Amino acid sequence: MKKIDEGVELFDDIWEKVYAAEQQNQKEKYEMDLKKEIKKLQRLRDQVKTWISSSDVKDKDSLIDARKLIETKMEQFKVCEKETKTKTYSKEGLAREDRLDPTEQAKNKTCDWISAHVSTLQEYIEENEVEIERLSSGKGKKSNKFKIEELVGYNLSHRYHISKLEGIMRLVTNDVLDHETVDDMEEEIDYYVEAHKDNDFLQGYDEEGFYDSLGLDDLDVVNVDRVTMKKEETTEKKKKKKSSTSTVTIPLKIGRAKVVSHSANASHGTQEDKPSVTPTKGAGPNNSLSPTSNARAGPAPTAPKVVVPPQPTAQGEKSMAAMLKGEQDRQKAAAAAAHLQQQREQQIQREHQTRQQELARQQQRQQELLRQQQLQQQQQQQQQQQQQQEALKRQQQQQQQQQLQEQQAKEAAAKQQLQEQQARQDAASKQQQHQQQQQNQLQPPPPSSNLENLLGSGIGGLSLQSTAAQHPTSESPNSVSAAVSQLSHDAASSCLGALNDSFVFCPTTHDTERQRTYIPRNPYPTPASYPTSPSHIFDNPAIFEKLGTDCLFFIFYYAQGTYQQYLAARELKKQSWRYHKKYMTWFQRHEEPQITTDEYEQGTYVYFDYETGWCQRIKSDFRFEYSYLEDSLII
């Protein structure tokens, strides 16, 4: 028992440390210590069970109390283990954050210990009833009469306290009675539950004034029906003892006697014995008979009326006393049996009433839980719908902005190309005009035959025979120079057209960027229950400390331009990963670099391949230039 007490004290100390710990690692450490201690208590409980089942141990009350105490600590450990294993961002973990205020917790604690005492008293009542049935069966009913009456008195007292405690628990729940006032009586109720059979406790026990400190009479509390038999029994016992001390002297005449007993009014549950004595002839002196009746607990039987003739014999006196005593015993036994039957019926009625009340309470609690669940579901649906609508609006706005930006970029590029083409054409035309003017001023006009050969060989094998046939040889020099300028202008315009066509398909700056993910303009409608936006818990930087490396890489590469990408990059940098701006890849040192300078370092690195394998690969003899290192991110 000493080991059990020490183990329970140590368990309570560790229990307080578990709930007082602020860091998770400390809480896990204390939980392991708590688990070791509960295993020790379980081994002690098994030993206590063997002692309880053994017939050598007579006083088993302390062992039973120790076993119940250990089982209570086991239930506490189950609650602690469940809370520790519950994940922080699961449904249970998020629901656990909405905890009760300290006042509600104190009220629940008060109701818990009241319920525990009520359960203990009900167990005592069941044990006493089993013992009463065992003692009442067979021939030992008369010999165990006092024990039966004592157990019946205990059950009546227990039921009285159960009714009071249930009423007090309802008052505390409805905020009619202060829980602190009730907590002050916990020690008294504990003492009653533990020592209700001790004689020292019964001498100072006052049932009527037990709950006076709560002021239940001022609160107009309706008590449960209570059949108080103990006071009646004590008063009857006192009356019987007084009557037993006084002697009844009945003069009898000596002679043979004939005793006749009649039983009447059987329907009313009482028996009246009327013995009559008829004497025979004989003579003798007058004697007196003094029978003494030992009173027992129970209703007093009707006093027998005896007609005593004069001068009975000594044998008649003895037979008369024996018959009177037997009749009294039978009357007491019948009254006790009727009293027990009445108590059992009342007990059954009370149990039925309490069960109905408990069923009604359970139904009310279930209805309240259903209402709360429905309200929570409605609120969740409304929040989801609002979030979906906001997400759709954001997507539409983003798409519209992207379309406007693309259109503006295309229009600006087209305008720039047109301006460049016009500038080039103007420059080319001015240059051609200047060249033509110089040629007309400096060179004499060549003959037509030489001009045709020159044009055929100089301008890509272009034949001018048709033009020569049309124009006579006697043309003037001005007409020939105009034809040459026209042909050169046509060739230059064709070259400029080809150049302009090539500018249409020239690469732009967007071609150097990495391909973005596909964003549909008209997304497919998803169900209302499906989330359309990330949860708000991912805005907390602490959640990223618990994520794995693959998850962080996935968020970085597939949630670009978001706050989550920034948090993922910051966490990767905390884990010694460095981002290469040229290769757009994360690198980490596999070992110390072989070469280190002010501009670069060279050695073996681990890099994350996100394009081909989505895995980590090793690159040896890699030169990491510091100019490509991303240093703008601050941890």
CA pair distance 38, 18, nearest whole angstrom = 14
**Nearest by Cα to 69 from 6, 115, 13, 157:** 6
Domain boundary among 339, 354, 381: 381
Tokens at 286, concatenated: 């007058």
Looking at the domain assignment, is residue 241 inside a domain? no
Same domain, 11 and 138: yes
In three-state secondary structure terms, 589 is strand
Looking at the domain assignment, is residue 508 inside a domain? no
pTM: 0.27
Q: Which residues in 376-414 are b (16+ Cβ under 10 Å) and which e?
A: eeeeeeeebeeebeeeeeebeeeeeeeeeeeeeeeeeee
CA pair distance 158, 160, nearest whole angstrom = 5
What was the pLDDT predicted at 314?
Answer: 41
Same domain, 17 and 141: yes
DSSP character at residue 310: B
Long-range contacts formed by 140-149: CB under 8 A, 24+ apart: 141/333, 142/329, 142/333, 145/296, 145/333, 145/336, 146/296, 146/297, 148/336, 148/340, 149/233, 149/297, 149/298, 149/336
Tokens at 21, concatenated: 């710990």
What was the pLDDT predicted at 273?
Answer: 40
Tell me the CA distances in angstroms from 510 to 267, 409, 417, 516, one per residue in order: 111, 11, 17, 11
β-sheet bridge partners, residue 572: none
Looking at the domain assignment, is residue 225 inside a domain? yes
What was the pLDDT predicted at 87?
Answer: 56
Same domain, 113 and 139: yes
Element (H, E) at 491: helix 477-504
What was the pLDDT predicted at 88?
Answer: 52
Same domain, 190 and 101: yes
Q: Which amino acid is at 268?
A: H
86 in Cβ contact with 93 (< 8 Å): yes
β-sheet bridge partners, residue 615: 609
Looking at the domain assignment, is residue 352 inside a domain? yes
340 in Cβ contact with 148 (< 8 Å): yes
> HSE of 125 in the Cβ direction (CA atoms, 13 Å)?
20
Q: Domain containing 610 — which CATH number?
A: 2.30.30.1020
Same domain, 112 and 136: yes
Same domain, 190 and 270: no
What was the pLDDT predicted at 181?
Answer: 85
Tokens at 469, concatenated: 């046939």
Same domain, 214 and 253: no
DSSP character at residue 150: H
CA pair distance 471, 479, nearest whole angstrom = 10
CA pair distance 571, 577, nearest whole angstrom = 9
CA pair distance 29, 21, nearest whole angstrom = 10
DSSP character at residue 572: H
Q: Which residues in 161-190 are b (16+ Cβ under 10 Å) and which e?
A: bbbbbbbbbebbeeeebebeebeebeeebe
Same domain, 55 and 202: yes
Looking at the domain assignment, is residue 38 inside a domain? yes
Looking at the domain assignment, is residue 542 inside a domain? yes
What was the pLDDT predicted at 90?
Answer: 56
Q: How many helices (H) and strands (E) does the chain have?
A: 17, 7
Question: DSSP readout, 213-230?
Answer: GGTTTTTT--PPP----H
Looking at the domain assignment, is residue 421 inside a domain? no
Same domain, 217 and 305: no
Rounded to 5°, angle at Cα 161 from 349 and 356: 35
Tokens at 360, concatenated: 């009604």
Domain boundary among 359, 381, 403: 381
Same domain, 205 and 266: no
Looking at the domain assignment, is residue 618 inside a domain? yes
CA pair distance 359, 336, nearest whole angstrom = 34
Same domain, 221 and 265: no
CB atoms within 10 A of CB 547: 15
CA pair distance 221, 397, nearest whole angstrom = 66
The interaxial angle of helices 186-195 and 102-136, nearest 10 deg, is 20
Same domain, 188 and 226: yes
What was the pLDDT predicted at 478?
Answer: 55
What was the pLDDT predicted at 46?
Answer: 86
In three-state secondary structure terms, 29 is helix
67 in Cβ contact with 49 (< 8 Å): yes
β-sheet bridge partners, residue 616: 608
CA pair distance 375, 361, nearest whole angstrom = 21
Termini Cα distance of the chain: 57
Element (H, E) at 440: helix 314-442
Ranges of the chain with pLDDT below 70: 86-101, 138-141, 203-204, 217-330, 437-485, 487, 514-517, 635
Query: In the chain, how many domains are there?
Result: 3
- What's the domain range around 162? 2-231
Domain boundary among 352, 381, 410: 381
